[in-house]
């Protein structure tokens, strides 16, 4: 089990690396995280919603994601409440106090999921959440030491040296555990190191001396451009831009409740593309394109967009020739109106959309969670005169209706369509998360925005497979694999 001294120390990425390392050895490996708090989510082939990080870890293990890999998913809707996704389906919206009162009900699903996966696999690689030393939450947590104690998981404690204070973080975390929990911690991982490891060795020896001889099993180097999805919002705070400013400048509006921001990882990895996340109007500049991403609270984030003054700037950019795109909640905002009479996403109400596209959205209690394949509808400008295949997944509560004669973006088969596109194609929206994973779609849009050089029209899953191998190679080289195998019992 990989636990951490805090959030964003790299637990998810390290778990993905171990999934690929042991899968390459021929073991049947599965990731597991009992409870995940994230707005980045994924839809399984059965239509269940789960944390995006565990879906990525499953892919690293060469597996199809299963909802048991993340039985409890919390999707924050505000500072004091979250939607609880239990076994892939919306269960309840709860305050923090009410959530902890329900922990035994949730634990039953956690335990059943763990036991099912353990019976079907050679190795489970378990990820904790935050820190096991949150002493105010220890009696009610269901994701860190309770999992380790119940199922006898040996624990590796990971710390982020790039932030500073890693030795204090590791020793302090261990000190706050009780004796039974301390016995489960078998060693440490130091992540995100830059420099010469030899200069760190005296500190590693002192750390071992201070913690009862526990070894540091590896010092993992700082790795850039991993193409491995991150689940933590801290990552987005620290990585607001990527790429060298080049021929195509793309801005993603960073809503207060932005969801599935990893939709745009394929754009960030393209050469000649600058991808920036912006939450202040003064940082918008004059990009070639602006994307409105998904949102957990669409009406609230739309109100924030207007209060911030982004709406007028977006209109000016469109008039100057820039492109405007929306994904999921962002697509809903681009339409004429959004109505939530039942208060599905919060307080009941509704309001005018930005009016760039003709659709009107009505929120309903049922949640759409499904995998989708389809193709672009040919038309003037973007997406072009030929049909381009796409695939992705839908996660949304609202239903958007277009008026007769409006131009859809995608044909999904069976007479269904998705999204909308303006005349000429400069403004478009879709419900499909993962649409930029399609190399041909991505290339068509970037060419429409003015990029002249050919880009990486590989499907993003191919790029990510290469990234998994690179990640596994780097981490395996940094780890004492023999010691790790002894801890695991291989």
As separate numbers, helices (DSSP H) first and strands (DSSP E) second, the chain gives 16, 27
The pLDDT of residue 96 is 80
Task: Please compute, for residue 206, the number of CA atoms within 13 A of its CA located in the half-sphere on the CB side.
Answer: 7
Q: Which residues pair with 433 in a beta bridge?
A: 393
Asked about 288 being catalytic, the answer comes back as: no
Whether the bond between 161 and the residue before it is cis, its omega within 30 degrees of 0, is no
Please tell me the distance from the alpha carbon of residue 48 to that of residue 113, in angstroms, as a whole number: 14
Burial 84-102 (b: 16+ CB within 10 A, else e): bbbbbebbebbeeeebeee
Q: How far is C-alpha 439 from the geometric centre of its chain's CA atoms?
A: 20
The pLDDT of residue 458 is 65
The pLDDT of residue 240 is 55
Please tell me the distance from the alpha carbon of residue 382 to that of residue 309, in angstroms, as a whole number: 28
How many other CB atoms sit within 10 Å of the CB of residue 308? 13
Active-site residue (options: 153, 288, 328, 396) = 328
Q: Do the beta carbons of residue 399 and residue 336 sit within 8 Å?
A: no
The pLDDT of residue 233 is 52
**pLDDT digit string (tens) for the chain, length 490 residues:** 999 999 999 999 999 999 999 999 999 999 999 999 988 999 999 999 999 999 999 999 999 999 999 999 999 886 678 999 999 999 998 888 888 889 899 999 999 999 999 999 999 999 999 999 998 888 889 999 999 999 999 999 999 999 899 999 999 999 999 999 999 999 999 999 998 999 999 999 999 999 999 999 999 999 876 666 555 555 555 555 555 556 899 999 999 999 999 999 999 888 889 999 999 999 999 999 999 999 989 999 999 999 999 999 999 999 999 999 999 999 999 999 999 999 888 788 899 999 999 999 999 989 999 999 999 999 988 999 999 999 999 999 899 999 999 999 999 988 899 999 999 999 999 999 999 999 999 999 999 999 877 665 667 788 889 999 999 999 999 999 999 999 999 9
The pLDDT of residue 81 is 84
Tokens found for residue 384: 């072009």
Residue 47 has phi, psi (to 5 degrees) of 85, 15
Please tell me the distance from the alpha carbon of residue 133 to that of residue 144, in angstroms, as a whole number: 9
Sequence-ordered list of residues with C-beta below 8 angstroms from that of 174, at least 6 positions apart, any chain: 157, 182, 185, 211, 214
The pLDDT of residue 387 is 94
Sequence-ordered list of residues with C-beta below 8 angstroms from that of 452, at least 6 positions apart, any chain: 247
Q: Is 186 strand, coil or helix? A: strand
The pLDDT of residue 449 is 94
Asked about 102 being catalytic, the answer comes back as: no
Q: Which residues pair with 124 in a beta bridge?
A: 30
Tokens found for residue 194: 């830059």
Dihedral angle over CA of 434, 371, 361, 333, nearest 10: -10
- pTM summary value: 0.87
Please tell me the distance from the alpha carbon of residue 203 to that of residue 201, in angstroms, as a whole number: 5
Please tell me the distance from the alpha carbon of residue 190 to that of residue 480, in angstroms, as a whole number: 12
């Amino acid at each position: 089990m990989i636990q951490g001294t805090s959030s964003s120390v790299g637990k998810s990425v390290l778990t993905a690396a171990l999934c690929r390392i042991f899968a390459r050895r021929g073991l049947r490996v599965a990731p597991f995280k009992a409870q995940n708090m994230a707005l980045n989510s994924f839809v399984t082939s059965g239509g269940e919603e789960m944390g995006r990080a565990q879906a990525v870890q499953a892919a690293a293990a060469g597996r199809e994601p299963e909802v048991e890999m993340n039985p409890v998913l919390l999707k924050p809707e505000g500072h004091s409440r979250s939607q609880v996704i239990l076994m892939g389906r919306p269960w309840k919206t709860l305050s923090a106090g009410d959530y902890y009162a329900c922990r035994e009900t949730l634990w039953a699903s956690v335990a059943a999921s763990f036991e099912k996966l353990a019976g079907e696999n050679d190795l489970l690689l378990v990820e904790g959440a935050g820190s096991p030393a949150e002493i105010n939450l220890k009696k009610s947590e269901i994701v860190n030491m309770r999992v380790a104690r119940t199922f006898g998981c040996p624990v590796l404690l990971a710390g982020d040296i790039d932030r500073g204070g890693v030795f204090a973080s590791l020793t302090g975390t261990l000190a706050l555990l009780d004796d039974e929990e301390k016995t489960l911690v078998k060693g440490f991982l130091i992540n995100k190191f830059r420099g010469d490891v030899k200069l760190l060795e005296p500190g590693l020896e002192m750390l071992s001396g201070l913690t009862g001889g526990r070894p540091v099993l590896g010092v993992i180097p700082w790795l850039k451009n991993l193409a491995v999805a991150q689940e933590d919002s801290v990552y987005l705070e620290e990585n607001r831009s990527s790429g060298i400013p080049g021929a195509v400048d793309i801005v993603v509006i960073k809503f207060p409740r932005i969801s599935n921001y990893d939709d745009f990882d394929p754009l960030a990895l393209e050469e000649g593309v600058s991808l920036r996340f912006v939450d202040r109007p003064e940082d918008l500049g004059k990009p070639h394109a602006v994307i409105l991403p998904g949102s957990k609270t669409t009406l609230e984030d739309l109100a924030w967009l207007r209060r911030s003054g982004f709406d007028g700037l977006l209109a000016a950019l469109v008039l100057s020739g820039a492109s405007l795109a929306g994904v999921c909640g962002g697509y809903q905002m681009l339409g004429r109106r959004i109505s939530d009479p039942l208060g599905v996403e919060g307080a009941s109400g509704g309001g005018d959309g930005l009016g760039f596209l003709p659709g009107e959205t009505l929120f309903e209690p049922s949640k759409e969670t499904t995998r989708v394949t389809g193709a672009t509808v040919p038309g003037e400008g973007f997406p072009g005169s030929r049909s381009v295949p796409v695939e992705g997944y839908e996660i949304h509560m609202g239903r958007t209706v277009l008026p007769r004669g409006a131009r859809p973006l995608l044909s999904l088969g069976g007479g269904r369509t998705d999204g909308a596109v303006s005349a000429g194609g400069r403004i478009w929206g879709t419900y499909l998360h993962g649409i930029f994973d399609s190399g041909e779609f991505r290339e068509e849009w970037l060419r429409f925005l003015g990029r002249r050089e050919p880009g990486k029209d590989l499907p993003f899953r191919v790029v990510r497979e290469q990234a998994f191998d690179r990640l596994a190679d780097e981490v395996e080289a940094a780890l004492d694999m023999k010691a790790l195998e002894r801890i695991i019992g291989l």
